[in-house]
């Protein structure tokens, strides 16, 4: 997929030239392959389709057609073409397993996706990348299966009528209440590719003026930002509004884009003095794009800019990664960039970083972490000087298509660019990004949120299970946007009634039974959802909102004493299980202390497998994995003090 989210819809000037007689010579294939490489997908596709029908057994034709469909973002057609060119007994055929699987997954064809996951499992010659991706997509299917109960802080705002064009519209950015900046080709008719034209239409940065949303009145493309023959986009404003960072890309003779990051001064709504960032950011031999700037407090009341951006330079986790650089006030330039590391970056491609200045969280898109297909939007919470593990924002923010350029619009909502079905396109349903708007839904308080999650996650008669060592993770949706300044980012499912749950009081000093019945129920709910990464005492991202709610509940009371007791199942060495159960209780304590609870009021202990919640075996003596999953837990005992 090209950087910038640029998609070229290009057809031959000669119309059906070459369709009368089909030439399958090496020269003909080379010409079509060059067209696909240059981004002329819709130039090549009609001819390739004709040739593939005439010569249905020509494997190379089907594979090249699959590549053209894939680049044109037609995943169902791409998967079918790759499948037609797949000969399981042919040498080297295993390399086509991955594009078949990925495209069926992105197309939302779950049955075919499962078939090809099984096929990859049978192929001993499938490489590690293919096998790992198959496992990841298998996890993704579990995510998609629970979309009916998945909760989100956002809902589509259909009243926001952005003037999307037939080509990609992306990177929305609010300059002020009446001005939006975005990137687009701004073309509503199919472009003709003519290499003789030196100033062929390219993506540009546009400024959109509005007096009363959603009434848009004027769109212009500032000439100082947009140079002839160059692709421009991905704008980001510095927090003080004085600088505008953006990308410029040039296409070489074989169609490959090379991008670099620039900045311009912004004064009274006018851009001026454009300059290219130095080699610390625009490293030679690499693509550097999609900048986002945030300001951090430095020493002596100084403000220091930090630049997040995307690069494929060496030293990353794979593909396009998120890199970060801090501005050096003495040298008056950005320092050498650092990779955010494998906790954030995947073996796939990361894109469109956005830093939430209010909450200190990082949002970005990725096709390498477990998601719904294509690029999904993820959230990484701020943890110390780094970030926690990515959390999928879930539906409706994410879809089977590519979902990128997520950015908060203050407290009102968020922008998103996506090529999901229903977008405005020229020829195909899911070829090009449109700009969408998602409104933020009302918050629930922490106790209401827990009650609501219980309702949407747990079917009648079904217990909520925990994730532990050597077990499949529970069927539980990811949590949407999280904020450490709030006890929990409460979330609401669209089209589902908000629960009418009264706030539950924290036990008072005179409560000799430690807590009332309702508080006990809440504690049990939290306890059942305390989960850890497999084989470790690391808390999962899905657990943190429950612990946030517990912290909020405890801080709302006058005094308390909390006892955390870790448990395991009966598998493995007893001594190791006793140690592990203690470490997990300590991990919960450490997190609660980080949320402002007093360490002296929290006691931890581990009981290993000695106090099972349920029998580890069935009555006939066979293993019961489901019960063992629930036995691996941390229980909570709350006392007044």
My answer on whether 138 and 176 are in the same domain is no
Under the banding of pLDDT at 50, 70 and 90, the label for residue 475 is very low
What mean pLDDT comes out for the span 216-227?
Answer: 86
My answer on whether 261 and 396 are in the same domain is yes
d(CA 131, CA 136) in angstroms, rounded, equals 9
My answer on whether 188 and 116 are in the same domain is no
Q: Is 199 helix (H, G, I), strand (E, B) or coil?
A: coil
d(CA 356, CA 353) in angstroms, rounded, equals 10
3-state secondary structure 472-500: CCCCCCCCCCCCCCCCCCCCECCCCCCCC
d(CA 439, CA 364) in angstroms, rounded, equals 19
- Whether 491 contacts 479, CB under 8 Å: yes
Under the banding of pLDDT at 50, 70 and 90, the label for residue 467 is very low
Under the banding of pLDDT at 50, 70 and 90, the label for residue 469 is very low
The radius of gyration of the chain from alpha carbons, rounded to an integer in Å, stands at 27
**If you search the block for the tokens 């990308």, which residue do you land on?**
247
d(CA 371, CA 392) in angstroms, rounded, equals 7
Q: Does residue 8 register a pLDDT over 70?
A: no
List the beta bridge partners of residue 289: 310
Under the banding of pLDDT at 50, 70 and 90, the label for residue 527 is confident
**If you search the block for the tokens 């202390």, which residue do you land on?**
593
Give residue 604's pLDDT.
Answer: 94
d(CA 423, CA 52) in angstroms, rounded, equals 30
Q: Does residue 513 register a pLDDT over 50?
A: no
Q: Does residue 478 register a pLDDT over 50?
A: no
For CA atoms 47, 49, 50, 51, give the dihedral sign.
Answer: positive
Closest of 236, 231, 216 to residue 164, by C-alpha: 216
My answer on whether 221 and 111 are in the same domain is no
Task: Provide the CATH number for the domain around residue 11.
Answer: 1.25.40.10
Q: Does residue 486 register a pLDDT over 60?
A: no
d(CA 523, CA 515) in angstroms, rounded, equals 10
My answer on whether 12 and 88 are in the same domain is yes
Give residue 458's pLDDT.
Answer: 44
In a domain, 378, yes or no: yes
In a domain, 453, yes or no: no
What mean pLDDT comes out for the span 122-139?
Answer: 87
My answer on whether 207 and 92 are in the same domain is no
In a domain, 431, yes or no: yes
Give residue 17's pLDDT.
Answer: 34
In a domain, 86, yes or no: yes
144 phi/psi in degrees, rounded to 5: -70, -30
* More reliable by pLDDT, 523 or 504: 523
Give residue 97's pLDDT.
Answer: 92
CB environment 599-638: b (16+ within 10 A), e (fewer): eeebebebbbbeebbeebeeeeeeebeebbbbbbbbbbeb
Most confident segment among 308-312, 327-331, 563-567, 595-599 = 308-312
Give residue 301's pLDDT.
Answer: 66
Out of 87, 122, 149, a domain closes at 149
Under the banding of pLDDT at 50, 70 and 90, the label for residue 399 is confident
**If you search the block for the tokens 């053209």, which residue do you land on?**
68
Tokens of 560: 């308390």
Counts of helices then strands in the chain (DSSP H, E) = 12, 28
Q: Does residue 231 register a pLDDT over 80?
A: yes
For residue 5, how far is the Cα from the chain centroid?
Answer: 16
What mean pLDDT comes out for the span 433-456?
Answer: 68
In a domain, 225, yes or no: yes
Give residue 239's pLDDT.
Answer: 87
My answer on whether 433 and 556 are in the same domain is no
Q: Which of 6-20, 115-129, 294-308, 385-399 has the lowest mean pLDDT?
A: 6-20
My answer on whether 65 and 26 are in the same domain is yes
Tokens of 11: 């057809």
Give residue 188's pLDDT.
Answer: 54
* More reliable by pLDDT, 386 or 362: 362
3-state secondary structure 351-406: EEEEEECCCCEEEEEECCCCCCCCCEEEEECEECCEECCCEECCCCCCCCCCEEEE
d(CA 479, CA 499) in angstroms, rounded, equals 18
Give residue 116's pLDDT.
Answer: 92
Give residue 254's pLDDT.
Answer: 61
Q: Does residue 18 register a pLDDT over 80?
A: no
Give residue 522's pLDDT.
Answer: 77
Residue-range definition of the domain harbouring residue 570? 466-475+500-639
Tokens of 296: 């951090």
What mean pLDDT comes out for the span 397-423?
Answer: 86
CB environment 236-266: b (16+ within 10 A), e (fewer): bbbeeeebbbbbbbebeeeeebbbbbbbbeb
d(CA 144, CA 109) in angstroms, rounded, equals 12
d(CA 583, CA 605) in angstroms, rounded, equals 9
589 phi/psi in degrees, rounded to 5: -60, -45
**If you search the block for the tokens 């989100």, which residue do you land on?**
152
What mean pLDDT comes out for the span 299-306?
Answer: 75
For CA atoms 340, 346, 348, 351, give the dihedral sign.
Answer: negative
Q: Which of 71-80, 410-419, 504-513 has the lowest mean pLDDT?
A: 504-513
Give residue 292's pLDDT.
Answer: 96
Most confident segment among 39-53, 126-140, 418-432 = 126-140
Give residue 498's pLDDT.
Answer: 30
Dump the DSSP string for 255-270: S-EEEEEEEEEEETTE
195 phi/psi in degrees, rounded to 5: -65, -15
pLDDT tens digits for 140-198?
777 666 543 334 678 888 888 788 887 788 999 988 888 889 999 876 544 444 444 44
My answer on whether 64 and 213 are in the same domain is no
Under the banding of pLDDT at 50, 70 and 90, the label for residue 405 is very high
pLDDT tens digits for 564-620?
999 888 888 888 889 999 999 999 999 888 888 888 889 999 998 888 888 888 877
In a domain, 226, yes or no: yes
What mean pLDDT comes out for the span 50-68?
Answer: 87
Out of 102, 120, 149, a domain closes at 149
Neighbours of 343 (CB within 10 A): 14
In a domain, 460, yes or no: no
Task: Provide the CATH number for the domain around residue 582.
Answer: 3.30.1330.60
My answer on whether 194 and 327 are in the same domain is yes
My answer on whether 229 and 372 are in the same domain is yes
Under the banding of pLDDT at 50, 70 and 90, the label for residue 136 is confident
My answer on whether 44 and 186 are in the same domain is no
Closest of 299, 363, 311, 372 to residue 337, by C-alpha: 311
In a domain, 486, yes or no: no
Mean pLDDT (the chain, rounded)? 76
- Whether 7 contacts 72, CB under 8 Å: yes
Out of 120, 149, 178, a domain closes at 149
Tokens of 614: 């349920």
* More reliable by pLDDT, 337 or 295: 337
Give residue 281's pLDDT.
Answer: 95
What mean pLDDT comes out for the span 50-61?
Answer: 86
Q: How many domains does the chain have?
A: 3
- Whether 569 contacts 471, CB under 8 Å: no
């Amino acid at each position: 997929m090209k950087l910038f989210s640029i998609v070229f819809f290009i057809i031959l000037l000669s119309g059906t030239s070459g369709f009368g007689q089909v030439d399958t010579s090496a020269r003909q294939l080379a010409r079509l392959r060059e067209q696909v490489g240059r981004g002329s997908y819709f130039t090549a596709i009609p001819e390739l389709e004709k040739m593939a029908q005439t010569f249905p057994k020509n494997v190379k034709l089907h594979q090249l057609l699959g590549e053209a469909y894939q680049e044109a973002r037609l995943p169902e057609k791409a998967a079918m073409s790759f499948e037609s060119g797949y000969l399981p007994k042919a040498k080297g055929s295993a390399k086509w397993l991955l594009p078949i699987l990925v495209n069926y997954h992105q197309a939302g064809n779950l049955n075919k996706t499962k078939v090809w996951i099984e096929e990859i499992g049978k192929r001993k010659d499938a490489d590690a990348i293919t096998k790992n991706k198959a496992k990841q997509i298998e996890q993704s299917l579990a995510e998609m299966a629970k979309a009916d109960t998945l909760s989100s802080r956002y809902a589509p705002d259909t009243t926001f009528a952005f003037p999307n064009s037939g080509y990609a519209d992306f990177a929305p950015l609010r300059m002020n209440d009446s001005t939006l900046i975005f990137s687009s080709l701004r073309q509503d008719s199919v472009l003709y590719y003519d290499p003789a034209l030196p100033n062929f239409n390219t993506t540009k940065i546009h400024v959109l003026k509005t007096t009363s949303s959603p009434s848009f009145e004027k769109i212009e493309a500032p000439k100082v930002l947009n140079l002839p023959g160059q692709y421009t986009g991905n704008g980001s404003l510095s927090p003080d509004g004085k600088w505008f960072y953006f990308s410029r890309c040039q296409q070489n003779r074989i169609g490959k884009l090379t991008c670099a990051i620039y900045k311009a001064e912004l004064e009274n709504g006018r851009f001026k003095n454009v300059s290219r960032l130095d080699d610390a950011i625009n490293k030679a031999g690499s693509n550097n794009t999609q900048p986002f700037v945030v300001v951090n407090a430095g020493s002596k009341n100084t403000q220091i800019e930090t630049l997040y951006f995307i690069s494929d330079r060496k030293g990353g986790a794979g593909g396009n990664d998120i890199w970060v650089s801090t501005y050096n006030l003495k040298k008056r330039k950005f320092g050498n960039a650092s990779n955010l590391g494998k906790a954030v970056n995947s073996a796939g491609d990361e894109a469109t970083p956005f830093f939430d200045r209010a909450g200190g969280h990082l949002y970005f898109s990725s096709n390498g972490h477990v998601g719904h297909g294509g690029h999904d939007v993820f959230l990484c919470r701020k943890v110390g000087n780094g970030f926690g593990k990515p959390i999928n924002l879930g539906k409706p923010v994410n879809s089977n298509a590519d979902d990128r350029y997520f950015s908060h619009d203050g407290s009102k909502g968020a922008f998103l660019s996506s090529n999901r079905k229903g977008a405005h396109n020229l020829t195909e349903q899911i070829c090009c990004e449109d700009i969408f708007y998602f409104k933020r839904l009302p918050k629930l308080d922490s106790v209401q949120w827990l009650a609501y999650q219980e309702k949407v996650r747990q079917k009648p008669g079904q217990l909520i299970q925990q994730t532990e060592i050597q077990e499949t993770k529970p069927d539980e949706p990811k949590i949407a946007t999280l904020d450490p300044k709030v006890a929990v980012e409460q979330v609401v499912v669209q089209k589902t009634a908000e629960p009418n749950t009264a706030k539950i009081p924290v036990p008072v000093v005179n409560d000799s039974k430690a807590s009332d019945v309702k508080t006990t129920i809440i504690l049990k709910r939290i306890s059942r959802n305390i989960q850890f990464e497999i084989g470790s005492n690391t808390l999962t991202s899905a657990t943190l909102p429950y612990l946030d709610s517990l912290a909020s509940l405890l801080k709302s009371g006058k005094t308390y004493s909390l006892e955390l007791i870790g448990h395991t199942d009966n598998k493995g060495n007893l001594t190791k299980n006793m140690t592990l159960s203690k470490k997990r209780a300590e991990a919960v304590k450490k997190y609660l202390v980080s949320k402002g609870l007093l360490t002296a009021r929290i006691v931890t202990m581990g009981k290993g497998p000695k106090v099972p919640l349920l029998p580890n075996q069935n009555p006939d003596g066979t293993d019961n994995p489901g019960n063992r999953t629930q036995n691996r837990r941390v229980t909570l005992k709350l006392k007044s003090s």
